[in-house]
Amino acid sequence: MSRVASARLVPYRLRLRAAHGDARGGFALREGVLLHLTDTVGRVGLGDCAPLPPFTPPLDVCCRALAAEAERLPGTDPIAGFYELMAAPDTSLPAPARAAVEMALGWLAAQELGIPLGRLLAPDSQVRPVRLAVNALVDAADVAEALAQAGRFAAEGYTVFKVKVGLGADRDAAVLRELRDRLGPRALVRVDANGAWSPAEFATIAPLLRAADIDLIEQPLAPGVPSAEWARLRAETGLRIAADESLANGARGLELIRATACDAVVLKPSLLGLAASAWLARAAREAGLEVIVSGAFESGAGLAAALEFAAVFGSAGTAHGFATALAVLDDPVAGVPLPAAGGVELPAAGALPALAPAANAREALA
């Protein structure tokens, strides 16, 4: 039985091909830190700590917590350590730091057992999909560029489109009206408001969303809005809604799920952690909700874990939010499949992330 032999942190900075925009603002860079574990037989497990304030604590807080945790990891049995973390989602560690530990131990444990990480996450999973559907991401603030984004994705074979809204009433209306005309009736269009609307604003914009035949509205209301208000607006508007940022508070997320105040959950394992995401996914499935899994402009280590999570917890046939990976440049992690033509292929043995040669070289010079 192997043990963790060493633990080190590898900071990274990712550039985006174009600035990401949403109702909370925008960014063109993502910073994080990889947890690099080596076991006593030489296997490597990578975890990704990729905070995204205000959804999570800031990077410096997460890094300090992760550094302290990394010092305690040598000597740990990866299998026992992973299962212990998965059994207790509540922790004093910030969620992105905990996610990094869960991922790194999980990859080591999966290698030792000779199974994909997904099977480790959900031992009762029966069939591993060979491909996951992926939605296009339309996040440009400019109307013309947003429409051009959608056009490029459509030309590449994408049929499900997620459009960032809450970027101005005129912009949102122009994009949604024109997008439906350009994509035609067969395209599935979802929107993500990132909590931009008050209950009154959501009710006001609902006719436009119905006219544009929007399939799903992600996080229309702020995370603090009570579940009863979500349920009321869901019933009054007749629109399908999904919870995302509200899930960062596990108790509040569970309340939304159990109250059937939403139709779907959007889980970001890099931001919530694997254990917390699994807990919410199981509750959502029991309530009959759609489970969508999404990336968060993280490194390939976080993306690989999210892909494995989606393979076992994602709803069959749904399109997941992994187009974020297409926006990332300078990724220090290699060996992870990327979306293409509206989907992403899953290796049968699991997608094992590894430090890219350039990243290893930079570490050697550090």
Distance CA 164, CA 214 (A): 12
**Looking at residue 318, what DSSP letter applies?**
P
Total length of the chain: 366
Distance CA 303, CA 294 (A): 9
Residues 6+ apart with CB under 8 A from 100: 33, 34, 35, 47, 48, 49, 66
Distance CA 216, CA 241 (A): 5
Instruction: Beginning with the edge strand found earlier in the chain, give each strand of the sheet holding 188-192 in spatial order.
Output: 136-138, 160-164, 188-192, 214-218, 241-243, 264-267, 290-293
Neighbours of 168 (CB within 10 A): 14
Closest CA to 308 of 122, 52, 78: 122
Q: How far is CA 165 from the centre of its chain?
A: 18
Give the CA radius of gyration of the chain: 20
Which residue of the set 164, 190, 234, 320 is catalytic? 164
Place of tokens 């600035």: 19
Which residue of the set 268, 313, 319, 321 is catalytic? 268
Is position 162 annotated as part of the catalytic site? no
- Which residues carry out catalysis? 164, 268
